[in-house]
Amino acid sequence: MIARLHFNKHLLETPFYPRTAPLNKHSEWGAWSGHLSATGFGDTEMEYTAIRNGASVYDLCPMVKYRITGPDAVAYLDRLTVRNVAKLTPGGVHYTVWCDDAGKVLDDGTLFRHGPQDFLLCCQERHLPWLTDATLGFEVAVEEITETIAALSLQGPCTASVLSAAGWDVSSLRPFRMTKVPFDGTTLTISRTGFTGDLGYELWIGPAHALALWDHLFTAGAPWGIRPIGSDALNMARIEAGFLIAGMDFIPAEQALREDRVRSPFELGLDWLIDWNKDHFNGRRALIRERESRASQWSLVGLDIAGNVSAEGSLIYHAKQKEVGYITAALWSPTTKRNLAIAHLKRPYAAAKSDNLWVEIYALRELQYVKLMVPARITPRPFFTPARRRATPPGRF
Amino acid sequence: MPSSDVIVIGGGPNGLAAATRLAQSGRRVTLVEAQPQVGGGAATTEFHTGYRTSALAHILQGPDARVASAMKLDAHGLRLSTPLTTAVPGIDPLTMQGTFGKVSGLAATDLAAWSELQERLTRFARLLAPMRQMTPPRPAAKAGNDLWNLGKLGLSLRSMGKVEFRELLRMLLINVADVLEDDLTDDRLMGLLAFDATLGAWAGPRSPNSLIVYLNRIAAGETLTLPMGGMGSVAAAMRKAAEAAGVTVLTGSPVDRIDMAADIVIGVTLANGENFAAGAVLSAICPRRTLETLVGPRYLDTGFIRRARAIKSRGGAAKLHLALTGAPHFPAADLTWRIVLAPSVNAVENAFNPVKYGEVPDAPVMEITFPTAHDPSLAPSGHHVLSAVVQFAPHAPKDRDAARAQMLQNTLNVLETAAPGLRPLIAHAEILMPYDIEDRFGMSGGSWHHGDLAVEQMLFLRPFAGVSQYNTPIPGLWLGGAGSHPGGGISGAAGWNAATQLLQGAKP
Ligand SMILES: Cc1cc2nc3c(=O)[nH]c(=O)nc-3n(C[C@H](O)[C@H](O)[C@H](O)COP(=O)(O)OP(=O)(O)OC[C@H]3O[C@@H](n4cnc5c(N)ncnc54)[C@H](O)[C@@H]3O)c2cc1C
């Protein structure tokens, strides 16, 4: 019998741990899907600067990954998710969401099409029971493979140069496409994807080759100041890019305890993903009803807030009086030099009544909170979207 | 392609009732039935050369009053026996009139307690009876509930007074054994009541919430009769009524799938590939089969399919048919009666216990009729047919054939003890186990009600939350078989209710 002693370790180490641990000088760790995940490597500002000005490396291993294969894989995913999967060609990636029967979002994620019948779905939460029950009537297999893939996110304007120095020419790789290259006796998948809104790539490989990949990348990237980053720096970049995180910007419908916490794609500003012309997908009928009866309660918006105090967790008021929303993510953005936030606003305060919005901020000033009431206005997301993000071939910096 | 306003799937009593209701309201209706004849559980079969009997359901309690009058079943040739007396045979027999009527032969000690209990349960059952003819209310805002009838029900609940209302609430979720043992001592009466309470259920008298199932049974009709010519006569009369109303009846036409376009029902495809177009489809077969097989998961949501697959559908009743070369003798009982062999509450409970583990009870309890005592034409002259519902039988034993053989032996042993000399009269014996019933009649798990009738699958939870008002998430698809409220029996109530909702055009 094999001793199953995994429970002795409360959080698992990722395959990159032998490299990240010595570099994590202040032992800044958090938990992500049952794994140890670095929140920082000692200097969040420098890490953020690497994302925006150089080359940064983030350990993506804990991200939940499902492999979906079989002759009905496309039909299955089209029924599961709101976007049109048939339009995603092999070698392509798209961002999508999936809903429960009531049309409330269960999670968002990225779907990688590795072959005609071979997909990888990456997301924040675990969904195996739902994904498995959804296979009924489809010739398809769903397998959780989170721990069988080691992944790094390489983000920043210099990352194409780093990859080129590493020996991989990605100059023709367009955003949301992937390519496969030989490395260390195996296949390395490089996708032009990321969570920073910048030029960047994600690298996928078997765990046994993880350290070789790390070492190779850090050697090649040294001239560009390549450095590991933690989730704090990544979070700054993702807010600037306007991306959402399940569990932080919305409660996945399966986890919500309070009736009014669940959100539909309309209420998260994600209805643009929905393909109304494809066949039935989960939640479709509820979403049609919501659309037709204008039943959406909330809007998700970007806010530009006066001043420079980050409004994390703040409540939003109309005319300083009526509570009309709340902020789920905020920062003073170093790149745009604006005080930004992602917020949920009750309708119609995101549109017809969007003037006269105020944010109540509790600013901590030397152990004492000071209450500020500052004006805010709705501003388009993404807040920061540089041309280099999409340029193909990518710029050489 | 042939086209109609509504296609009704399944020609059991509910399908026939629904089709008639729709046609009588001016809809062009086609009813498609898989078998060569309509009827479903309402059928007459020749189970042995020269011997005919009701193939499944044998006693008529009802049908639903609206169905009976609108379909004019008597005018369409249905003849019924005189109302049945139920007997618990023995040296000291006990009889009961109708479903829950007058009892004779009761010991003096129980007389007062029984009349009080009978009066109370009858009152409760009558109070709940109107529910059977209503669309179940949905506990949600703007649910489109039948407020008028709910209001009436509310008023009658209020008018019963605080003490009685509290008593109703106490009783609502209680088990039937507790109620009986609180008030009565006579084993014959308690055994009979415990048997009737659990007839057709997957529950023993000590199972939680068993009393409400009994109240529902009492509410379904106060008299019991046998149809002349067997239960198939009911189906034949219903078919005539349906055709008189303009329904096109197609038999031998199993539906393979329900067709949709742009998320709306457009018709059905038969197993032979033939298409029939319609603006709406009302399915009077099992809800799970309708949704999972005829519609298919691709057109439904995952949570919804989960709930459809979670419908509990466990048959606990077997059906026994004996061809007898003469009249058996049950002490002090008449063959025109309904004879119940259930000696005590514990006898019923003990017959249920093994079924929980997929096993056969040593001493099953049963309800016996002799259709030939009312209609001698069902067997050769002087011969008889014994038709019995025998409880409890496992719906999923490890070895089906062994369980069937064991069930038959144990049943015959009980019968021989009750009516010595019966065995040598048997020319042929047939017993249908729940799985045989599923195979032959298409009822999931062999369930009497196309899904357990239990408090967690009643009213707005029948067949499951979200489809209790006969409509489904798919525009144009309606459910109207025994799996829907108020459940099964040769009644047509569920089909009638569903057709009423369809006519009112309730939205999903
Ligand atoms: C052992 C036993 C004894 C019973 N005894 C009694 C009794 O004494 N008294 C009583 O009132 N009730 C009795 N019942 C209950 C009664 O038989 C049922 O509740 C009743 O038949 C349900 O009626 P229904 O119309 O909903 O469905 P059913 O009678 O089951 O009819 C459904 C019909 O649909 C047809 N069908 C199925 N699939 C398809 C398809 N794909 N395409 C087309 N047609 C299809 C079937 O062939 C069938 O004709 C008994 C049940 C059992 C199991």
Q: Domain locations in chain B?
A: 3-45+62-79+229-311+452-503, 108-216
- Residues near B163 by beta carbon (within 8 Å), at least 6 away in sequence: none
Which residue's alpha carbon is nearest to atom 11 within ligand 1?
Answer: B489
Residues of chain A below pLDDT 70: 1-2
Please give the pLDDT value at position B266.
97
Tell me the chain B residues in contact with residue A282 when contact means C-beta distances shorter than 8 Å: 301-302
Q: Cα separation of A214 and A162, whole Å?
A: 12
Angstrom distance (rounded) from CA B311 to CA B456: 10
pLDDT mean over B15-43: 98
User: Which pLDDT tens digit goes with each residue over B246-287?
Assistant: 999 999 999 999 999 989 999 999 999 999 999 999 999 999
Tokens of A317: 């008021």
Before B205, cis peptide (omega within 30)? Answer: no
Same domain, A341 and A288: yes
Residues A182 and A325 in one domain: no
Distance B265 CA to ligand 1 centre (A): 25
Q: Which of B292, B299, B508 lies closest to A280 in CB terms?
A: B299
Identify whether A32 is part of a domain: yes
Averaged pLDDT score across all residues of chain B: 95
CA distance A330 to A342: 6
**Phi then psi dihedrals of residue A360, to 5 deg:** -95, 115
Contact B321, B53 (CB under 8 A): yes
pLDDT digits (tens, 9 = 90+) for B58-75: 999 989 999 999 999 999
d(CA B330, CA B373): 14
Kindly identify which residue of chain A lies nearest to residue B304, measuring between CA atoms.
Answer: A101
Residue A221 sits in the same domain as residue A317:
no
- Whether residues A215 and A322 fall in one domain: no
Best probe of the A interface among B298, B472, B477, by most A CBs < 10 A, is B298
Q: How would you class A36 by CB atoms within 10 Å of its CB: exposed for 0-12, middle for 13-18, buried for 19 or more?
A: buried
pLDDT on residue A5 = 81
Query: Per-residue confidence at B507, pLDDT binned at 50, 70, 90?
Result: low
Q: In CATH, what class is B3-45+62-79+229-311+452-503?
A: alpha beta
Between CA B17 and CA A324 the distance in angstroms is: 53
Q: Band of the pLDDT at B508, cuts 50, 70, 90? A: very low
Q: Which residue(s) pair with B73 in the sheet?
A: none
Identify whether the C-beta of residue A150 lies closer than 8 Å to the C-beta of residue A209. yes
**Sign for the pseudo-dihedral over CA of B463, B465, B470, B476:** negative
**Which residues, including other chains, have CB under 8 Å from residue B286's CB and lie 6 or more apart?**
B313, B442, B443, B444, B450, B451, B481, B483
Q: For the segment A320-357, what is each residue's pLDDT rounded down to a tens digit?
A: 999 999 999 999 999 999 999 999 999 999 998 889 99
Provide the terminal-to-terminal Cα distance of chain A, rounded to the nearest Å: 55
In tens, the pLDDT along B106-162 reads: 988 899 999 999 999 999 999 989 999 999 988 776 767 888 888 888 888 888 889
pLDDT > 90: percent of chain B: 89
If you measure from the C-alpha of residue B199 to the centroid of ligand 1, how many angstroms do you get, rounded to a whole number?
A: 15
User: In chain A, which residue's Cα lies nearest the Cα of B295?
Assistant: A137
Order the strands of the A186-191 sheet from edge to edge.
A178-183, A186-191, A200-205, A150-155, A56-59, A227-228
**For residue A340, which phi and psi values (nearest 5 degrees)?**
-110, 155
Binary contact (B303, A100; C-beta < 8 A): yes
Ligand 1 midpoint to CA B483 (Å): 10
Q: State whether B298 and A283 contact (CB < 8 Å).
A: no
Tell me: the pLDDT tens digits for B374-390?
999 999 999 999 999 99
Please tell me which residue of chain B has the smallest CA distance to A77. B298
Instruction: With CB atoms and an 8 Å threshold, state whether A279 touches B298.
Output: yes
Quick one: A308 and A218 in the same domain?
no
Contact between B473 and A100 using a beta-carbon 8 Å cutoff = no
Give the list of residues 6+ apart from residue B249 with CB closer than 8 angstroms, or none. Answer: B11, B19, B30, B31, B33, B38, B239, B242, B243
Task: Give residue B332's pLDDT band: very low, low, confident or very high (50, 70, 90).
Answer: confident
Which residues, listed in sequence order, are joined to residue B173 by a DSSP beta bridge? none
**Nearest C-alpha in A relative to B263:** A280
Closest approach of chain B CAs to the CA of A305, in angstroms? 39
- Please give the residue of chain B at the shortest CA–CA distance from A277: B262
Q: How far is CA B238 from the centre of its chain?
A: 17
Is residue A305 domain-resident? yes
**Contacts with A79 from chain B: Cβ below 8 Å:** 298
Report the pLDDT averaged over residues B194-211.
96
> CA of B475: which chain A residue's CA is closest?
A285
Which residues from B are below 8 Å from A133, CB to CB? 302, 305-306
* CA distance readout (Å), B331 to A165, B90, B226, B324, B336: 101, 5, 22, 18, 14
Contact of A65 with A125, CB cutoff 8 Å: no
Q: Alpha-carbon distance A5 to A1, whole Å?
A: 12
* Chain B residues inside the 8 Å CB shell of A75: 298
Residue A285 shares a structural domain with residue A366: yes
Predicted confidence at residue B377, as pLDDT, reads: 97
Longest dimension (CA), chain B: 70
Which atom belonging to ligand 1 lies closest to the Cα atom of B40?
49
Which tokens go with B36?
């060569």
Q: Which residues of B370-390 are buried (b: 16+ CB within 10 A; e: fewer)?
A: bbbbbbeebbeeebbbbbbbb
- Report yes or no on A299 lying in a domain: yes
B222-241 in b/e burial notation, b at 16+ Cβ within 10 A?
bebbbbbbbbbbbbbbbbbb
Contact A284 B303 (CB under 8 A): no
d(CA B56, ligand 1 centre) in Å:
8
Q: How many domains does chain A have?
A: 2
Ligand 1 pocket mutation pick from B202, B255, B285, B319 by most atoms within 8 angstroms of CB: B285
Residues of chain B with C-beta less than 8 angstroms from the C-beta of A138: 297-298
* Burial class of residue B346 in the structure, from the number of CB atoms within 10 Å of its CB (0-12 exposed, 13-18 middle, 19+ buried): middle
Structural domain includes residue A75: no
What lies within 8 Å, CB to CB, of A51 at 6+ separation is: A155, A156, A196, A198, A229, A233, A234, A236, A237
Task: Tell me which residue in B263, B297, B299 faces A136 most closely, judged by beta carbons.
Answer: B297
Residues in chain B, overall count: 508
| Containing structural domain, residue A189 | 3-61+149-229
Tokens 């016996």 correspond to B368
Q: Determine the distance separating the centroid of ligand 1 and the alpha carbon of B12, expressed in angstroms.
A: 6
Which is the closest atom of ligand 1 to the Cα of B432? Answer: 1
Determine the pLDDT at residue A1. 60
Q: Nearest CA to CA, how far is B502 from chain A (Å)?
A: 19
Residue A185 lies in a domain: yes
Atom of ligand 1 nearest to the CA of B482: 26
Give one word for A126, left, alpha or beta, with left for phi > 0 and alpha for psi -120 to 50. beta
Which residue, among B302, B472, B477, would best test binding to A if mutated, counting the most A CBs under 10 Å from its CB? B302
Task: Identify whether residues A225 and A263 lie together within a single domain.
Answer: no
From chain A, the residues in CB contact with B302 under 8 A are 80, 100-101, 130, 133-134, 136, 282
Is position A357 within any domain? yes
Structure tokens at B50: 């020269």
Ligand 1 pocket residues where CB is under 6 Å:
B 9-15, 32-35, 40-42, 56-59, 61, 254-255, 284-285, 315, 317, 319, 389, 437, 441-443, 446, 448-450, 481-482, 488-490
Residue B294 DSSP one-character state: I
Residue A174 placed within a domain: yes
Residues A277 and A198 in one domain: no
Give the gap in angstroms from C-alpha A7 to the nearest C-alpha of chain B: 32
In whole angstroms, what separates CA B474 from the centre of its chain?
A: 27
The Cα–Cα gap between B42 and B60 comes to: 10
Domain shared by A156 and A299, yes or no? no
Nearest chain A Cα to B296, which residue?
A: A137
The alpha-carbon gap from A111 to the nearest alpha carbon of chain B, in Å, equals 20
**Contact state of B302 with A284 under an 8 Å Cβ cutoff:** no
Q: Look at residue A239 and tell me if it is in a domain.
A: no
Last residue in a domain, options A229, A247, A271: A229
State the pLDDT at residue B135: 92
Contact status, residue B14 vs residue B284, Cβ threshold 8 Å: yes
- For residue A67, the cross-strand partners are A120, A143
Tokens of B394: 């496992």
Q: Which residues of A touch B (CB under 8 A)?
A: 75, 79-80, 100-101, 130, 133-134, 136-138, 279-280, 282-285
Contacts of B12 (CB under 8 A, 6+ apart): B38, B39, B40, B41, B42, B284, B285, B481, B482
**Does B301 contact A283 at a Cβ distance shorter than 8 Å?**
yes
Are residue A156 and residue A225 in the same domain, yes or no? Answer: yes
Closest residue to atom 34 of ligand 1, CA basis: B10
CATH number for position A271: 2.40.30.110
Tokens 């197993």 map to which residue?
B271
